[in-house]
Amino acid sequence: MTRTIYFVGAGATAHRHAEALEHLPRGDRPEIAAADPNGETLESFSDVVPDARLYDSSEAMLEEPVHPDDFVIVCAPPFVHHSETLAALESGRHVLCEKPLAVTQPEAVDMVETAKANDRLLGACTCRHYGTPGTRHVTELIADGAIGDPYHVTWVHRSQRGRPGIEYQPASKWFLDRSKSGGGIVMDWGPYDFAALYDLLSPDVVAVRDAWTAQPETGVDPTDLTFDVETHGGASLVYRTGTDEVNVTYERASGTHGEERWVAEIEGTRGSIRWDWTDVDEAEVTLSSDDDGTVTEESTTVSGTEPFGPHQRPLVFFDRRIRGEDAPILTNEDALFTFSTIQAIYDCAASGEPQEVRPHALE
């Protein structure tokens, strides 16, 4: 019996995942199945994967016999991540879920607990920019003492006009409805941001001291549908590892009237590092330090070793984890920890009360 990779949702996201199939180990070509209620979408997927078995519902698809190494990729919008993931896990299959992991914290906890109860892996697609060459080089520099004791991270990424559902993927209006998306730009890009920060700082606890969200107005804001998500948000956090603390200044915007900025920098007592944390092929890392009272900078270009891009990483890395190999992808409790950090930002912004995130204890 040959194992199968199943796709729940067969649209553009599924197409990008399918491009990764050629990067699986030679001689191991799994069978492919896809489910989507839209016939045209299924037909488009069959153009990408001609030999795929097609279904108009995931329920029918998951009735197929199970191979121990089968896995399901949930490519549908966030508001069905919980139900589709639970059904796939309970069918005996591993699950790779698109970001965000869920729409609410209880849903995310339920998903991870179900994975644990069924002895399956639940992977998160946050690995597109997790464990990148730039971030790995930065962690090595920190371990070597290049910047002394780290104390502050600036993580600010602001776009003036790139709102999901409006300027970006305008046909996907579910981005604008929090009940379907889970949130706005913090929920959309936060999964990548906080996976990278988790990789960088390896926290035991994350404290959200303060948080805020906003929706700056523009002349093209939709008025005929639900638009209740933030397009600009930020937080002040503390990442604790043992007795060490690093303060994090976080900001993310897809729609702001302020200037555009893209800064990832960690400061220490003897230096600081700026770097490109998203590039999986080649990244510039700049070390700033003191030389007899004068600030000096040295830039290094580091290259990746994988022959594929960020959109292919989730499928390839999850496949490796199922095989028992090491791979830079967050699964189960680690995936939940980063999602919980995002949810804590929303909870803090809504209540005005500080929040604390600890690893979820699973029996």
Chain segment 51-98, per-residue pLDDT in tens: 999 999 999 999 999 999 999 999 999 999 999 999 999 999 999 999
- Alpha carbons 163 and 231: distance in angstroms, whole number: 7
Q: What pLDDT digit, counting tens, does each position of 243-302 carry?
A: 999 999 999 999 999 999 999 999 999 999 999 999 999 999 999 999 999 999 999 999
3-state secondary structure of 53: strand
- Alpha carbons 223 and 221: distance in angstroms, whole number: 6
The secondary structure element, H or E, covering residue 11 is none
Q: Would you say the CATH fold of 129-306+327-357 matches that of 4-98? A: no
- Assigned CATH class of 129-306+327-357: alpha beta
Q: What pLDDT digit, counting tens, does each position of 101-154 carry?
A: 999 999 999 999 999 999 999 999 999 999 999 999 999 999 999 999 999 999
Rounded to two decimals, the pTM is 0.96
In the chain, what are the domain boundaries? 4-98, 129-306+327-357
| Domain 4-98 bears CATH identifier 3.30.450.20 | no
CA 241 to chain centre: 22
